[in-house]
Amino acid sequence: MSQLTLLDMDGVVVDLVGGVLSLYGVDPTLASQVSSWGGIPAVVSAHSQYQVTSQGLWATVGHAGPAFWADLQPYPWAVDLYQLCAKHGVLVCSTPASPGSAAGKLAWLSKWLPDASACLMSAPGSFQHPPQPTSVKRLLGRPGALLVDDHPQTCQAFELASGESFTWPAPWNGGVCTLTLEAHHSAGWQALERLRCLLDG
């Protein structure tokens, strides 16, 4: 039984991909078509007048400032997932890609999960575009700690540090077999129930 759950933000409770698509005027429900890490530029290029690279895309996000991060939409299960984890002890844990994203993430939490305690972690020199999945969360890995994250590499690093992990399903990590909004949302709700069984045991 976990004594503390570390809950990732982007891709777990926050629809970062949909927000990035919206910056380019692309329907945010097409986020479910992002089928791999780094696949956002291809979806933007296919559904807008813009031909973007990964570096250019994240530069645009950076120029949007803290408001971009603060205004991202929660996933439909976000509050339920947080409340489930909060029953057992929860720390929202995220790795901002820039100082602006750190401020925006705190503003997002204040709006959507006002009771949440947060840990924003960055390794020296880790503010970068495009943001890279990071295993800095492994520093919080210990027996009794459970990480809920959408990046398998981060989960594996956490387990190597003696923690437990739960990989949240997403189109970009292979956790959603059909690349539709309905399948993505169905996988999210199913994951919530699996996690409930794990935590409530």
Mean pLDDT on 159-178:
90
User: Do 116 and 46 share a structural domain?
Assistant: no
Mean pLDDT of the chain: 89
Mean pLDDT on 71-93:
95
Q: Give the CATH number of the domain where residue 109 resides.
A: 3.40.50.1000
- pLDDT value for 10: 94
Domain housing 21 = 17-65
What b/e readout covers 52-75, taking b as 16+ CB neighbours within 10 angstroms?
beeeebbebbbebebebbbebebb
- pLDDT value for 36: 85
The residue type of 26 is V
User: Do 120 and 26 share a structural domain?
Assistant: no
Question: Do residues 155 and 167 make contact, with C-beta atoms less than 8 angstroms apart?
Answer: yes
How does pLDDT run across 113-156, given as a tens digit for each residue?
A: 999 988 887 654 454 554 555 568 888 899 999 999 999 999 99
User: Do 22 and 43 share a structural domain?
Assistant: yes
Question: Do residues 162 and 140 make contact, with C-beta atoms less than 8 angstroms apart?
Answer: no
For the chain, give percent helix, strand, coil, nearest 5: 50, 10, 40
Domain total for the chain? 2
The model's pTM: 0.91
- pLDDT value for 5: 95
High-pLDDT (> 70) share of the chain, %: 92
Least confident of 2-6, 55-59, 95-99, 152-156: 95-99
